[in-house]
Amino acid sequence: MLVIVAPGQGAQTPGFLTPWLEEPTFRSRFEWLSTVAGIDLVAHGTTSDAETIRATEVAQPLLVATGLVAALELFPHPTDAFSRIGAVAGHSVGEITAAAAVRAISAEQAMVLVRERGNAMAAASAVTPTGMTAVLGGDRDEVLAKIAEHGLTPANDNGPGQVVAAGTMEQLAAFAADAPAKARLIPLSVAGAFHTEHMAPAVSHVASLARSVSTHDPRTRIVSNRDGNVVHDGNDVLSRIVSQIANPVRWDLCMETFRDLGVTGILEMPPAGTLTGIAKRALKGVETFALKTPDQLDAAREFCERHGESTQIQTTPAWRLVVAPSKGTFTLAPEVREATEFAAGTVIGDVASSRNRAAVTAVHDGELVEWLVEDGDLVSPGQPLLRVHPKGVA
Q: The domain 2-124+197-307 is classified under which CATH number: 3.40.366.10, 3.30.420.270, 3.40.630.40, 1.10.540.10?
A: 3.40.366.10
For residue 152, the SS3 value is: coil
Q: The domain 320-390 is classified under which CATH number: 3.30.420.40, 1.10.1740.10, 2.170.120.12, 2.40.50.100?
A: 2.40.50.100
Residues with a known catalytic role: 92, 195
Reported as a single tens digit per residue, the pLDDT across 227-262 is 999 999 999 999 999 999 999 999 999 999 999 999
Reported as a single tens digit per residue, the pLDDT across 324-375 is 999 999 999 999 999 999 998 999 999 998 888 999 998 878 899 999 999 9
Confidence (pTM): 0.90
Domain locations in the chain as residue ranges: 2-124+197-307, 128-187, 320-390
Question: How many Å apart are CA 97 and CA 90, to the nearest integer?
Answer: 7
Question: What count of residues does the chain have?
Answer: 394
* Angle, in degrees to the nearest 10, between helices 94-101 and 107-125: 170
* Cα R_g (the chain), whole angstroms: 21
Reported as a single tens digit per residue, the pLDDT across 128-163 is 999 999 999 999 999 999 999 999 999 999 988 899
Please choose, from the candidates 202, 264, 213, the residue with its C-alpha nearest in 3D space to the C-alpha of residue 103: 213
Reported as a single tens digit per residue, the pLDDT across 312-322 is 665 544 578 89
pLDDT at 312: 61
CATH class of the structural domain 128-187? alpha beta
Please choose, from the candidates 356, 364, 370, the residue with its C-alpha nearest in 3D space to the C-alpha of residue 325: 356
